[in-house]
Amino acid sequence: MSRILVVEDNADLAAGIEYNLSLDGYDVRIAADGKEAIAAVGEWRPDLVLLDLMLPGADGYQVLQAIRGAGNKVPVIILSARGEEADKVRGFRFDADQYVTKPFGILELLERVAALLRRSDRDRGSSPNQLVFGEVMVDLGARTVMRRGVPVAITPKAYELLLALVRRDGTVASRVDLLKEVWGYGSFIMTRTVDSHIAELRRKLDDPREPRHIITVWKVGYRFMR
Say yes or no: domain 3-123 is CATH 1.20.1370.20. Answer: no
Contact 121, 130 (CB under 8 A): no
Residue 37: per-residue pLDDT: 96
**Measuring CA to CA, which residue among 115, 65, 122 is closest to residue 92?**
65
* H or E stretch at 30: strand 27-31
pLDDT beyond 80 at 123? no
Query: What pTM was computed for the model?
Result: 0.58
Label residue 6 left, alpha or beta by phi (over 0 means left) and psi (-120 to 50 means alpha): beta
5-44: per-residue pLDDT in tens? 999 999 999 999 999 999 988 999 999 999 999 999 999 9
Cα angle 105, 98, 41 (rounded to 5 degrees) comes to 100
The pLDDT-based confidence of 184 (bands split at 50, 70, 90) is confident
pLDDT beyond 70 at 125? no
Q: How high is the mean pLDDT of the chain?
A: 87
Using alpha carbons, list the distances in angstroms from residue 210 to 38, 160, 163, 177, 216.
Answer: 21, 23, 21, 24, 11
Strand partners of residue 136: 133, 147
Looking from the CA of 206 toward its CB, the CA atoms found within 13 Å total 21
Contact 204, 164 (CB under 8 A): no
Residue 25: per-residue pLDDT: 87
Segment 129-140 shows an average pLDDT of 83
47-80: per-residue pLDDT in tens? 999 999 999 989 999 999 999 998 888 999 999 9
The pLDDT-based confidence of 99 (bands split at 50, 70, 90) is very high
pLDDT beyond 70 at 186? no
pLDDT beyond 80 at 120? no
Residue 64: per-residue pLDDT: 95
Segment 105-134 shows an average pLDDT of 76
Residues 6 or more apart in contact with residue 154 via CB below 8 angstroms:
145, 162, 200, 201, 204, 205
142-167: per-residue pLDDT in tens? 889 999 888 999 998 899 999 999 88
Strand partners of residue 137: 132, 146
Alpha carbons 113 and 109: distance in angstroms, whole number: 6
- Enumerate the domain spans of the chain: 3-123, 130-224
Looking at CATH, the fold of the domain delimited by 130-224 is given as: Arc Repressor Mutant, subunit A (1.10.10)
Alpha carbons 121 and 126: distance in angstroms, whole number: 7
Question: Secondary structure of the chain: what % helix, strand, coil (to 5)?
Answer: 40, 20, 35
